[in-house]
Amino acid sequence: MLQNIRVVLVNTSHPGNIGGAARAMKNMGLTRLVLVEPQDFPSHEASARASGADDILAAAQVVGSLEDALVGCNLVLGTSARERSLPWPLIDPRECGTKSVEHAAQGEEIALVFGREHAGLTNDELQRCHFHVHIPSNPDFSSLNLGAAVQVLAYEVRMAWLAIAGEQAGGDKPQAAAPGVSELVTMDEMELFYGHLEKTLVDIGFLDPEKPRQLMPRLRRLYGRSGVDRSEMSILRGILTETQKVVRGEPHKRKDQ
């Protein structure tokens, strides 16, 4: 089940932090590390700080964008040390652990996303997440070292996972639920939808590309909060397709009315 939970590090500058994150993950039983444009990887320093978690580093996937890192993910939890201008559904590390394990147990794919040492995650990156996770640190000194932040979340994931193990009669290891088709759509399907939605809103004149304001981020927050499933997505895409036909003056479902 824990293999469904990936740790994504965005644009990390210090390779030592990548090693520290790998060590923290392995200590807590997490195995999947995805690196978005790391500034220095692979590196000797990363291996040194991994202290035996080299297998995690060797298997780490290096990708060019956050979008690539989130392919196939159903639930994305993005971490932030500070509040953002457009507030997002916010949870603490404990809720993050519980949510991650609950979804992983349903066979879903989860990403825990961490930002740059100096600048964290951009607003655009955070708006790709369903929830924001804040470690309730000292408000006067709120930013943890990247490896330490990974450690806190990985620990909470492990505690939630062990709690499920305790509930399962006779078993010493939590088992994933019977593999089935995941209900929640994946992030790549959501991105295609947002592209379709944005284009449609421009076509009907609701969204002015010159003055987009915060419309798309607000809609991302709305749909992200809803947890859209497969059948709901096909309704949403169907509505957009029919709307575009009306805009183009093409035959559509209710053309005779």
Q: Which of residues 104-133 bind ligand SAH (CB under 6 A)?
A: 114-115, 117-121, 133
Q: Does 37 bind ligand SAH (CB under 6 A)?
A: no
Q: In this structure, what is the dihedral angle of CA atoms 145, 149, 150, 154, given to the nearest 10 degrees? A: 150
| Least spacing, CB of residue 190 vs ligand SAH, in Å | 21
Q: Which is nearer to ligand SAH, 117 or 183 (CB)?
A: 117
Q: Which of residues 61-100 bind ligand SAH (CB under 6 A)?
A: 79-82
CA dist 157 → 40, 166, 169 (Å): 28, 14, 20
Q: Does 134 bind ligand SAH (CB under 6 A)?
A: yes
225 and 131 Cβ atoms separated by less than 8 Å: no
Q: Residue from 2, 25, 77, 149 that binds ligand SAH (CB under 6 A)?
A: 149
| Least spacing, CB of residue 227 vs ligand SAH, in Å | 22
| Least spacing, CB of residue 10 vs ligand SAH, in Å | 8
| Least spacing, CB of residue 26 vs ligand SAH, in Å | 19
Q: Does 47 bind ligand SAH (CB under 6 A)?
A: no
How distant is the alpha carbon of residue 164 from its chain centre? 22
Q: Does 2 bind ligand SAH (CB under 6 A)?
A: no
Q: Residue from 63, 144, 215, 240 that binds ligand SAH (CB under 6 A)?
A: 144
Q: Does 146 bind ligand SAH (CB under 6 A)?
A: yes
**Structure tokens belonging to residue 165:** 């193990």
For CA atoms 159, 226, 3, 70, the dihedral sign is negative
37 and 67 Cβ atoms separated by less than 8 Å: no
Contacts 24+ apart (CB under 8 A), 173-182: 174/1, 174/101, 174/105, 175/1, 176/1, 176/4, 176/104, 176/105, 176/107, 177/105, 177/106, 177/107, 178/107, 179/107, 180/106, 180/107, 181/230, 182/74, 182/106, 182/107, 182/108, 182/109
Q: Does 39 bind ligand SAH (CB under 6 A)?
A: no
On the question of a cis peptide bond just before residue 139, with omega within 30 degrees of 0, the verdict is no
Q: Which is nearer to ligand SAH, 114 or 223 (CB)?
A: 114
Total residues binding ligand SAH (CB under 6 A): 20
Q: Does 143 bind ligand SAH (CB under 6 A)?
A: yes
| Least spacing, CB of residue 113 vs ligand SAH, in Å | 7
| Least spacing, CB of residue 66 vs ligand SAH, in Å | 12
Closest CA to 146 of 2, 62, 24, 246: 24
Which residues in this chain contact ligand SAH in the complex, by CB under 6 A? 79-82, 114-115, 117-121, 133-135, 137, 142-144, 146, 149
